[in-house]
Structure formats: C-alpha cells, structure tokens
Amino acid sequence: MRARPIRRNIYLPVVRFGVADSDWFTVLLISCAGYLAPVPFGITVLYVPLQMWTWLLATAGSIAFFNYIRIGRKPCWLQHKLKALFFHHRQHRAIPNGRKRAFTRSWILNNEAAHGWLRSDPQSARSSSTLILLDHNSRIQEAIEERWNESLLMTN
Amino acid sequence: MERVLAYDELTDERDLRRHAVALVRPSGRRRDSSIVGIYRDALRHKDGALTVAYQVETPATMFADDALVDIRYDDLARMLAFDKPSGTLVQFRYSTTPDPGQAITNVITSRALAGTHTLASLLQASNLDYLRGTAKSLPYRRSVLTMWIRVPPKKRGNPTISALADFGDAFRQEMTERGILSTLRDLAQIYSRTADDSVVRRTLEAEQQAYNHANRVWRLFENSSPLTLRRFTRQEIWEAVFYGHCQNSNSSPILSDRPGRDLRDFLCGETVEGELNYLMHGEYPVTIVSMFIPPNEFVTADALRSLIGRRDFNLRHTIVTEYLFPEQRKETKRLDRRIKQVKRTFTRKDNPEGAAALRSLRAVREEVAGARESLLPTRFYVLLYGERARNLSELKQSVEVLDEQCERVVSAIRQIPGANADREEPEALRALFATAIAGELSPGLTGRELTEVANSAVALTPTEDSWQGATRPHTLLSTATGRLVGIDLFDRNQIPSPLIQIIAAPRGGKSILMAQFACDILASLSDASVNAIDIGETLLPLATVLGGRYIRPRPDEVRAINIWSYPELKDGEMPDDVQKALVVGDLKMLARLRDDDKTAEDIISAVVAQVYENIVSQNGPGRPLFEPVLSHFIAQLRTYPFDAEIVRERRETLVLALNNYIGHPWLDAPTHPDYEEKSPFDVFELGSLRDFPNDIKLSLAYRIAAYVARSIGRRRADGTRAPTANLFDEMWEIKDEYPFIFKVLQHAGRKGPKENSITILATHAFEDIEDVASLSKTGNVIFVGKQLGDFSKIVEHAKLSANGATAISHIKTAPGRFSQFVMVIGTGPDQVVELVQHELSPLMLWTLTTNADERNARSLVSAYHPDWSETQVHAWLAQHYPRGLTAVGLREIDETLLAVAA
C-alpha cells in the first residue's frame, strides 16, 4: 500500500514556560489586571507597592494555571470540566405533561398558509390517520416476520 | 393488625404528591437535540443546516490487490477535497452489531417449501443449530457503512431578531382576537411561546431554497464518490435517527407529512445520564474511545483493517470518522501564520523539533498550494455500546464487557504505527456524546481534530467489509473476520460459472466441504439431485444416512450401465449431439483408438447415427423400452455401405477390436433396472473398479461419468430444469487412472450454466486439472484449502493478488473444529476473495469424517450395536465425542461407554 504522509505536529502549540502561544494574551491580561487593580489603594507591602506583588502573583498564578490545564491533560479538558460542573449529569427525557414547554413550535413560518394543514376537515384527517396507522402496523408486522430490520443496524 | 394513624396517612399523601411533582419535574436538565425536523429526505438542524445520509456499499477487498484499494482511497480523497461550502461536515459511520445468525435465518427461509430431501434437511438442521449455538457464545458480526453529509445554511439568520419578530406578530394577532387587556394578561405566555430557542425558522420557500442549495453539494458527492451510495429515504433517515436517539425503542413513531413539525420530543424520548466513564443511554451503557494521536509519519489505506476485521470486536460499536471542511483560504492563512511562528520561535536557535515542524508545515503548504488539496480537520472515534441493562446485576456485567471491549479497541488503534487512542474521561464523554449520536453531527471543534490534507486523512475511513454472501444461501461458512456468510452455488448472479474447484492438501477438508455442499443442496433446493464420483468410500456414510444409492460395481454383481441409453429414448426422441459424442467416446476407448485417428472416428460416428436412427423409432410412448447396445453397433458396422476401400479396411479392424465385447454382461447389455429408479443422491465408487480387467474398468468408469454428465439438464414434469450437482472427488486419482473422464467434464462444464447444474471437483493441487483447458477456463469459483507445496499456479490461474496468496499460506485447519479455505469467485476488479471457515456440527462431523481413527470408531460402534442405524451410531458418537477424536487428542473411543450404552 502506498504510504500517505501524516504530519501530526503541524498545529502543536508553540509553548513557552509551559504556556501555549495562544494563551499568552490571557496571561498578559491577567497580569495587567493584577497590576492595575490595587493601584487606587496605594498600599505598600514590605516597602514594595502592592501592585508589584499582585502583578507577580497574577503572572505566576496564570502561568501555573495554564501549565496545570495543559500538561498531561486531554485537549479541551478545562472546557469539558467546566461544562460538567455547570450542567447536570442527567439529561432527562421529554415528558409530555412536564413543566417545561414541549417542542411544539413549527420551524416553518408560513406552514398553515402554505398547506392549510390545520384547517383540513377533522373527520378526513382522522380517517387518514387511521390509514397511516394501519399502514404502519402492517409494516411493523412485516418487519417482525422478516425478523431483521436493516435500519436497526444503523442506529449506533 | 397494624394501626394506621391520620398522621401516617398525611405523610403518605405528602410523599405521593412529592413523587407526582417529581414525575413532571424530574431532576437534571431536559435533553435536547440539534435535529428539529425532517425536510423531504434531509434532517433539518436547529441552525438551518441540512443533513442527508447514504448507505455505502462496502466492497470486499481485504484480499484484493493493494493498487485497487489505493485507487479507491485516492478517489475518496478527491471527493473530500473538492470545494464545498465552509462548515460542511462529512461523517462516515461504520456500525457493527453482533449477529446472532441472520444467515441462518436466510438459509431456513430460502429452503424450498416442497421437494427437498427430508433427511438432508435434518442433517443440515443439526449444523444450523450448532452454528446458532456458536453464535451465542461468540457472536458473529454484521457491519453497515453509512455516510452523513451536513451542509450549513447559506445565510445564517439571527435567531434573536426572528424571535422578537415572532413575539410582535403573536402579540398583534392576540390583540386583534382577544383584546388588549386579555393580551396584556397573557404577555408572559406569549413570550414563552415565541422566545428565542435558537431554532432558525424559515418560510417554506426559503426552506426549499436551502434544500436546493444543499442538494447541489450532496449531488457533487454522489457523482464523485468511488463507493456506491444510496441516499436514505425520508422514512429510512427518520428510523435511523430515531433508533439512534431512542435505544430502547423497537418501533418508530409515524412521521408526520406536515413540514415544520418539531421532532425533538420524539428524539429526546430517553434519558441520558451518568457521571462515570460510561453514560446510560436509555438502558444501554455507552462510551467513546477517541484517537488522540494520529499515526506517525505515514498511514496506509489498510490502516483500519486491524479494527474492522477483528473476529473479537463483536460488541455493538460504531467507528466514526468525521471530516470538517473549513474555509480553505482561512486555513491556508493559518498555516502561513504558523510557519512564520515556528520560524520565529525555533529555527533561530537551531532547534531540531522546530526544524522538523517547519519541514512538515512546508510540505503541507506545498500540497495545498493552488487549491490542489484541502486541509481537513478530521475526528476519529469509536462509539461503543454495552448490552442492555435493566438492573444492577445486568449493568455490572454489561459494563465489565464494555470495559474489556474498550481496551481491545484501544489496543487495536495502537497497532497502527504511532497512533494512540484512549477512552474519553467522564466529563469529556458527557460533552462529546451528544454529537456522536446518529444524525447529530456537529461542525463545532472538540479538540479531537487532526488536521491533514485529504489524501492522507482519508486513510482513516473504513470502507471495506467481508463479502456479503448470497441472499438465498444453502450453505453457511464464516469468514475469518467473523461474518457468517451464506453461499448459493446456483446463484448465477454471484457465481456465473457452473464449475467449482476445491483444491486442498490431504486432510485439508475438501471432501468434507464437498459433502456439505451435497447435503445442503439436497436440503434446500426443490427436486435437487446430486451425483458423485467417489474414490475411497468418503461419501459412503453420507449416502447411507441420506438413503442415497451407493453404487459400487463388482465383477460378481452385474449391473450394466448402457452408454447408448438416455432418458428421452423411451419417448422415441432422437439423441442430441452430446449423447452421440459420449457413445463415440466409449467405442473409441473400447477399440483402443488414438485421438488423431479421424477416419475411425468418422466411421464410428456415422454408424452410431445409423444405429440410433434404426432403433429410436421402435421406442415411443406406450411401447416397451428398446435400447441400442454394442451388438447392434457391431452388426450395423459390418453391413454399413462405405464406398472407399480404405474405409472398408478400417472398418474391419474396428470390428475385430470390438468383437471381443459382444455379449459382455457389463458392456453389451441394456441398463440395469436399478439405475432407472429415480434417486436424488447417487454415489459411484470408482475404487471398486480395480477388480475389473483394465479395458472393462476404463469403459465402466467412462460410462459412469457419462451417466453423471447426462443428468445435467434433468427436467421436472412441468418442463423446468431441476438443479443438479455433480461431484468428483479425488481428481488427482481420476487424472491418473481415468483421464478420459475429463472429456465428460468438459462437456459438463460448458453445458452447466444453461442447464441449472453445477460440477464440483475436489483435488490436491491445481496441476491435477490444469491440463484440461476447458476446466480451468470455465471454473471461476475456487476454494483453496491448505497447500503443502508450491501453489503459484493457483495464484496465477485465479489471478490472485499478493494479499490473496498470503492468505493461502496462512490457512489453518483444526481437525474436528474447522477447515479454512480461500474462496475466490470471479476475476477482475469485482473478484471476491475471502478467507472462509467451514465448521461442522458434531453430528455432521461424525457423518462426514474421513479420519482413519474416527472411521474406526464408527465401525466399532456399529459392530457393538449392529441393530443401530448409521444415524444412531453417528448421534451416539456426536454425543460423547462432539469434536471427534483427533481434536481432543484421542485415537480410539472408550469402549466402556459402549458397554454402558448396551
């Protein structure tokens, strides 16, 4: 077989101090925020203005944070973690008489005007439903007799 | 009696109310779907995108020529690379489900309603039951490949603005109908009815335009696909999506014809939950294994065979490969930026990683230059479902199996050089699973993308499968990849040639496979008949069990076969040219003529025609059968008015040569009445002919072969041709001892397709039959078993690829368990090459075994119990030694068991 080249490293992040190039802007923002936030208070700690400490801490902290979420983690680890944190692990089924509104809004705007579906004769609608039901039942019966339903295979 | 206080009743009532509230407001969030409906035959997504699905025909090319597979993948890469709207997503889903034996059902349902052989059916049923049992312990697999293409909307609308417009319309309408006060009172309800739910709503005309736009893209795929695609109908795509979303369901709801119907309530009918490394989708545990590191340096088109061809991957799973088509201009710019970045970062410091990265980047940039290639972010993952779990115990068992299967998948992916895969962590699984369900494909990035050019990334698409088998099979074989396939040797669509060759070394299972075919043909086809030429009593037990005729000519038991006779003689019909040719052939042999003696042949032909003319007219309906015999021929030969002197002289030598056989009880007599009786299964044992003088032996063998060949084209009462199978075992011996039989076979080989007949030849090596051009040219179905010596001639004759030849050298045969064969059907690009396995039920094994120890065991049991029938003997042995003797390391049976049985 012909060998097809795979260049798996072409989009690997360029990393400095363990922080990907795309994350450095965030580090910069955090550092700036860390520096500017205490400025109005004019506090000094150990003869050094507080903003110098906070700047240092914010920079080191953000670098450590980006190292933590990247090294040894799968891609998008933080996003998935946060999503799991904020969203319930259970996605319950749609309940017909549930408190939440059912998905009943049509995604076609001029549906009624175009088809007059709702304005059709209720009796005839009922009879056509019965026909559909009969048709459906006979199809199910046939499927059971055949014992195998191709589409079941494709449902994974 | 327990006293119930009012307080208890109140508590109960409170509990009941709490439960009732929980029912309408369950814990967790409501499940949602990106699919809001179906427009014509396409899934309509919330964002207005449309998706269609195709069933993809998977060619059986695992043993085909590498170049053929490469060409297919190149074409597929071109299909992926052509310009498409950015955001288009192509998803291949290779779904595999355990097969409890669909092919078994096919065999049963394709059996003729009447006219089958009852005893053969019973024997076949024992084999089917055995295969069903095997399928329970280690299920077979069935796979389906589908392709889903999601085309983004041409123009992305703003859902908030459209929701506000909806709100305004509804407000105005309500005010007109019910007045301002009532409208103001219901303001909250109107808002909730029209609030932005991120669903793009369009007019019917806009929807039609969007469909037309998407349809152009889908048609481009259809026209450029190297694989045969069949677009799902509206009903099929609905069923596929519904069953994918609702795992517990056995039937799908009726799909409304009304466009615009929101289907999310139906699709979200089952809860998805879980905090562990699997989720519960309905009652099924499910997990995902993703490829995190792509193959290293290179990948070949057969990379996924370790994943799609493994016998033990029989749990329900789907291999998903997704190709996202980004805007190529942006992608190229990104690549350029990246090149600059790497240059800046690494190369100045002469960093080897940087240099390597730069080389790769430049190579990719070169390939995408001039829009010759496309960069495709590709995702590759495997979705695995466990068994249904209705309680904790079932769940534990199911999850255990699922874990094991995950490990197997991971290790299979790791077999691709350099690739690495891992099971998704619980949080990632929760985030990714929603988009892994059938139809929910999403172009959003997940961090699992590998970006490569189409020509490389395409190798991650599984496109091949085992041969699908016949639709109305009579015999079952399993493939090495775990598919149970049915074979129908009379299916002229799949098997155009009537000549089937089984070539295997001694103990390679060829006679047993042939006997299996014989039994299954009798069991499945109406009015089928089987004639076999046997040497060494291989088919004797089968003939006895099935009540067939085992004809073993002995000098002391005269039962002549008259070569002159044919079925239509009794009706007074003249023989056809083939019948005359058979008679001429026999006379030439008796007169010891060489093939190049054309004068003698012409004399014989002329006289044979005259004899038939004289005698056939004396037969007819209501008259007693009067067969021409050798004496009639000699008498006619003596008096035939030849003009030329040289011919008359030659005639005299012929008369002299044939005179010896006048009145011979075997050669100059009408056909024995035993042969006139109709029998569905006749076996002629040629081994016993050794007791005859050589000339008689040869003539008898020829007559037997002619008798078999004549049964081709046997007609039923209504004039239709009944299926006939002619079997010739040990062709190597036939070649040595009775080479003229090949001439009869040539006739059979050429006549077969028109006459609903097949001929099966079994031999040790292709060299045994290669001399007969007709046999090797018309035979395009070959079962190649284990080979001992050089088998290059088979490879050359069958035009097998290097992979096919390798498969032959890897054939395994386990006595008492299975025999493997490389099955070759047809030639050229649509040639089917498959490694198949023939498995026997214990009863079938003991009926067909040719192993010396097992034959002795059969005889021993028969001797102990002379009152037992052959079937009883085989059944007793099958019960006590289900895998035979050799497979379990025995040479003889335990006679104490026999004593107990007595």
Give Cα separations from B525 to A41, A116, B719, B728 (angstroms).
Answer: 97, 56, 17, 20
Residue B752 pLDDT: 60
Cα atoms found within 13 Å of the Cα of residue B387, Cβ hemisphere only: 16
Does the CB of B307 have a partner CB in chain A at under 8 Å? no
Give backbone dihedrals phi and psi of B519, rounded to 5 degrees, phi first. -65, -45
Q: What is the DSSP letter of A13?
A: P
- Reported as a pLDDT band with limits 50, 70 and 90, residue A118 is very low
B344 found inside a domain: yes
Quick one: tokens of B848?
Answer: 């067909």
Which tens digit of pLDDT belongs to each residue from B270-286?
Answer: 999 998 999 999 999 99
% of chain B surpassing 70 pLDDT: 96
Minimum CA–CA partner of A115 in chain B: B258
Q: What is the DSSP letter of B507?
A: T
B28 and A89 within 8 Å at the Cβ level: the answer is yes
Question: CA B555: distance to chain centroid?
Answer: 48
Minimum CA–CA partner of B147 in chain A: A154
Res A122 pLDDT > 50: no
Residue B749 pLDDT: 62
Which tens digit of pLDDT belongs to each residue from A9-41?
Answer: 777 777 788 888 888 999 999 999 999 999 888
From the list B199, B254, B459, the residue facing A136 with the nearest CB is: B254
B124-143 as b/e: b if 16+ CB within 10 A: bbbbbebbeebbeeebbbbb
Q: What is the DSSP letter of B253?
A: P
All residues at 6 or more sequence positions from B344 whose CB lies less than 8 Å from its CB, including other chains: none
Same domain, B296 and B359: yes
Written as one letter, the residue type at B206 is: A
B385 and A9 within 8 Å at the Cβ level: the answer is no
Q: Is B469 left (phi over 0), alpha (psi -120 to 50) or beta?
A: left
By C-alpha distance, which of B579, B602, B601 is closest to B588?
B601
By C-alpha distance, which of B138, B144, B187 is closest to B167?
B187
Q: What is the 3-state secondary structure (H, E, C) of B1-40?
A: CCCCCHHHHHHHHHHHHHHHHHHHCCCCEECCCCEEEEEC
- Reported as a pLDDT band with limits 50, 70 and 90, residue A116 is very low
Same domain, B284 and B341: yes
Res A115 pLDDT > 80: no
Same domain, B298 and B251: yes
Return d(Cα B475, Cα B91) in angstroms, integer.
Answer: 36
Residue with tokens 């035939």: B640
Q: What is the mean pLDDT of residues A85-112?
A: 78
Which parts of B755-883 fold into alpha helices (H)?
Answer: 767-770, 773-778, 792-798, 802-809, 842-848, 852-864, 870-880
What does pLDDT average to over chain B? Answer: 87
Same domain, B194 and B205: no
By C-alpha distance, which of A101, A90, A98, A102 is closest to B24?
A98
Give backbone dihedrals phi and psi of B819, rounded to 5 degrees, phi first. -130, 135
% of chain B surpassing 90 pLDDT: 29
- Reported as a pLDDT band with limits 50, 70 and 90, residue B686 is confident
Determine how many CB atoms are found less than 10 A away from the CB of residue B185: 11
A81 contacts in chain B (CB < 8 Å): 427
Minimum CA–CA partner of B23 in chain A: A98
By C-alpha distance, which of B278, B287, B307, B300 is closest to B408?
B307
B300 and A92 within 8 Å at the Cβ level: the answer is no
Residue B514 pLDDT: 92
What does pLDDT average to over chain A? Answer: 77
Please spell the DSSP secondary structure of B412-454, one letter per residue: HHHTSTT-EEEEPPHHHHHHHHHHHSTT----S--S--EEEEH
B870 found inside a domain: yes
Same domain, B189 and B236: no
Which tens digit of pLDDT belongs to each residue from B194-219?
Answer: 776 778 888 888 889 999 999 999 99
Return d(Cα B387, Cα B675) in angstroms, integer.
Answer: 58
**Number of domains composing chain B:** 3
By C-alpha distance, which of B402, B399, B332, B407 is closest to B366?
B332
By C-alpha distance, which of B617, B605, B599, B597 is closest to B580?
B605
Beta bridge partners of B477: B485
Please spell the DSSP secondary structure of B343-403, one letter per residue: HHHTGGGT-HHHHHHHHHHHHHHHHHGGGSS-EEEEEEEEEEE----SSHHHHHHHHHHHH
B792 found inside a domain: no
Which tens digit of pLDDT belongs to each residue from B562-612?
Answer: 888 888 888 888 888 888 888 888 888 888 888 788 888 888 998 999 999
Same domain, B224 and B164: no
Residue with tokens 């914010």: A58
By C-alpha distance, which of A111, A151, A107 is closest to B50?
A107
Strand-pair category, B757-763 with B499-503: parallel
From the list B24, B37, B102, the residue facing A99 with the nearest CB is: B24
Ranges of beta strands (E only) in B454-514 are 475-479, 484-487, 499-503
Res A121 pLDDT > 50: no
Please spell the DSSP secondary structure of B530-577, one letter per residue: EEEEESSSTTHHHHHHTT-EEE--BTTB-----TT--GGGGGTPPP-H
Strand-pair category, B29-30 with A90-92: parallel
Torsion, CA B490, CA B493, CA B497, CA B503, rounded to 10:
-70
Min Cα distance A7 → chain B (Å) is 6
Considering only residues B780 and B667, tell me which one the structure prediction assigns the higher pLDDT: B667
Same domain, B185 and B236: no
Contact B847, B119 (CB under 8 A): no
Does the CB of B581 have a partner CB in chain A at under 8 Å? no
Res A120 pLDDT > 50: no
Quick one: tokens of B658?
Answer: 């044939």
Ranges of beta strands (E only) in chain A are 4-6, 15-16, 19-20, 44-45, 48-49, 90-92
By C-alpha distance, which of B231, B169, B299 is closest to B41?
B231
B345 found inside a domain: yes
% of chain A surpassing 70 pLDDT: 67
Return d(Cα B84, Cα B213) in angstroms, integer.
Answer: 11
Give Cα separations from B2 to B16, B249, B469, B690, B858 (angstroms).
Answer: 21, 43, 68, 97, 73
Considering only residues B322 and B26, tell me which one the structure prediction assigns the higher pLDDT: B322
Q: What 3-state DSSP class applies to B833?
A: strand
A94 and B364 within 8 Å at the Cβ level: the answer is no
Contact A110, B204 (CB under 8 A): yes
Residue B740 pLDDT: 77
Res A114 pLDDT > 80: no
Same domain, B204 and B129: yes
Within 241-280 of B, beta carbons closer than 8 Å to A belong to 242-244, 247, 251, 254, 258-265, 268-275
Residue A124 pLDDT: 42
Residue B319 pLDDT: 95
Residue B203 pLDDT: 83
Look up the domain containing B171 and give its range. Answer: 158-199
- Reported as a pLDDT band with limits 50, 70 and 90, residue A46 is confident
Residue B71 pLDDT: 92
Same domain, B61 and B147: yes
Q: What is the mean pLDDT of residues B805-816?
A: 86
Give backbone dihedrals phi and psi of B772, rounded to 5 degrees, phi first. -85, 100
Which tens digit of pLDDT belongs to each residue from B721-768?
Answer: 889 898 888 888 888 888 777 777 776 666 666 778 888 889 888 888
Determine how many CB atoms are found less than 10 A away from the CB of residue A69: 15
Question: CA B361: distance to chain centroid?
Answer: 43
Contact A23, A36 (CB under 8 A): no
Considering only residues B428 and B309, tell me which one the structure prediction assigns the higher pLDDT: B428
Does the CB of B456 have a partner CB in chain A at under 8 Å? yes
B882 found inside a domain: yes
Which of B440, B460, B480 corresponds to the end of one domain?
A: B460
B262 and A107 within 8 Å at the Cβ level: the answer is yes
Res A43 pLDDT > 70: yes
Res A151 pLDDT > 80: no
B863 found inside a domain: yes
Quick one: tokens of B743?
Answer: 């001439």
Res A133 pLDDT > 80: no
B571 found inside a domain: no
All residues at 6 or more sequence positions from B369 whose CB lies less than 8 Å from its CB, including other chains: none
Same domain, B193 and B219: no
User: Measured between alpha carbons, how far apart are the two ends of chain B, in Å?
Assistant: 65
Same domain, B143 and B251: yes
Contact B304, A122 (CB under 8 A): no
All residues at 6 or more sequence positions from B144 whose CB lies less than 8 Å from its CB, including other chains: A150, A153, A154, B55, B94, B95
Which of B176, B199, B222 corresponds to the end of one domain?
A: B199
Return d(Cα B11, Cα B212) in angstroms, integer.
Answer: 62
ipTM over 0.90: no
Within 95-134 of A, beta carbons closer than 8 Å to B belong to 95-111, 114-115, 117, 132-133
Same domain, B166 and B152: no
Beta bridge partners of B97: B142
Question: CA B544: distance to chain centroid?
Answer: 32
- Reported as a pLDDT band with limits 50, 70 and 90, residue A110 is low
Within 134-153 of A, beta carbons closer than 8 Å to B belong to 136, 140, 147-148, 150-153
Determine how many CB atoms are found less than 10 A away from the CB of residue B110: 16
Written as one letter, the residue type at A61 is: G
Does the CB of B207 have a partner CB in chain A at under 8 Å? yes
SS3 content of chain B, % helix, strand, coil (to 5): 45, 20, 35
B435 found inside a domain: yes
